[in-house]
Amino acid sequence: MMYMQMIETPFVGRFTRPWLLAAVLALTLGGCTNLRGGKLWAPEAFGLVRVSENLYVEAGADAPTQASLQDAMRRAEGAMQAAFGEVLSRPVVHACLSEECLYRFGGQGTFAKVYGNRILLSKRGMNWHFIAHEWSHAELSKRLGLSAWRGMPQWFDEGVAVVVSEAPEHSEQHWQYLDARGIAKPGRDELLTYKTLAQWLAAGDRFQDGKNAERRARGEPEIYALYAAAGHEVRPWFAQLGTAGLLQLVAQLNAGEDFSAVYAKR
Ligand SMILES: [Zn+2]
């Protein structure tokens, strides 16, 4: 009810109830940090045009941009198939070219974001890696029941997304770069305490993963300590257990087993 009131205040009279319900669902499932992502349920009302059933881009995007996005979606789907075997989720991708568009949907300062099954991409995140990253989140939320999904720690959800997407920004190479330079990153024990989205976001502040716009402006290398650490944790787990292990974990969580017990059992 609280969510309904929060949502209705700015948009009352402009949208129908199904849209409002979709926005509430987005908040519940995506755990997003603001309300603007709800606009993804009416993308054409906010400056995006439909390219295909699963792809919207900011108005004015040229044909090569649209083609490269479609190609990136195919590559992301290939990576998803490799990791999950079968891909059950069919997220809708929304690509912003401008900062204004990104801000309109609540994605400022990010490569990409997911609200339920709605992916928002920035211009910098417009490649298969970041589509696959967000798609991995959408796939896990599709495969897990609500209670199992809530029991999955944020660090694991992010770690799987990092491994599936192979984004160079979050790679093992980046982890080693941080390690070699003594740049602060969470140790394993600490990482494993980041169970909720709030804890994850607080850690992001602590390790300054969100300060990359400033680093870029100063000509300094970007730092993704948190994501690199999550990938560093999950990469050997996935290398050892593979798709079968991932799907087994999903099944065990859906059966009500405790995440820590299941994860530790490998
Ligand atoms: Zn993520």
Distance 11 CA to ligand 1 centre (A): 28
Q: How far is CA 138 from the centre of its chain?
A: 8
Please report, as a single letter, which amino acid is at residue 47.
G
Distance 13 CA to ligand 1 centre (A): 33
Phi then psi for residue 205, to 5 deg, are -65, -45
pLDDT reported for residue 78: 98
Phi then psi for residue 265, to 5 deg, are -75, -5
**Which residues does residue 92 pair with via DSSP β-bridges, in sequence order?**
118
CB 42, CB 15: distance < 8 Å: yes
Phi then psi for residue 168, to 5 deg, are -55, -30
Distance 19 CA to ligand 1 centre (A): 25
Q: Which two tokens stand for residue 2?
A: 């609280």
Q: pLDDT band at 265, cuts 50/70/90? A: low
CB 152, CB 192: distance < 8 Å: no
Helix (H) or strand (E) holding 146, with range, is helix 146-151
Whole-angstrom Cα distance, residue 23 to residue 1? 13
| Torsion sign over Cα 152, 154, 155, 157 | positive
CB 80, CB 87: distance < 8 Å: yes
Q: What is the pLDDT of residues 93-109, one digit of tens each?
A: 999 999 999 998 888 88
Distance 139 CA to ligand 1 centre (A): 12
Distance 161 CA to ligand 1 centre (A): 6
Q: What is the mean pLDDT of residues 102-121?
A: 89
Q: pLDDT band at 164, cuts 50/70/90? A: very high
Label residues 243-265 b or e (16+ Cβ within 10 Å = b).
Answer: eeebbebbebbeeeeebeebbee
Q: What is the average pLDDT value for the chain, to the nearest integer?
A: 86
Q: Is the pLDDT of residue 264 over 60?
A: yes
Cβ neighbours for 206, distance < 8 A, ≥ 6 positions apart: none
Q: Return the percentage of the chain with pLDDT > 70, whole number.
A: 86
Distance 237 CA to ligand 1 centre (A): 18
Domain limits, CATH 3.40.30, in the chain:
1-143
Q: Is the pLDDT of residue 6 over 60?
A: no
> In the chain, how long is the greatest CA-to-CA distance?
56
Distance 114 CA to ligand 1 centre (A): 8
Distance 113 CA to ligand 1 centre (A): 7
Q: What is the mean pLDDT of residues 42-64?
A: 92
CB 75, CB 69: distance < 8 Å: no
Distance 162 CA to ligand 1 centre (A): 7
β-strands 55-58, 48-52 pairing: antiparallel
Specify the fold of 1-143: Glutaredoxin (3.40.30)
pTM of the model: 0.85
Any idea what DSSP says for residue 170? G
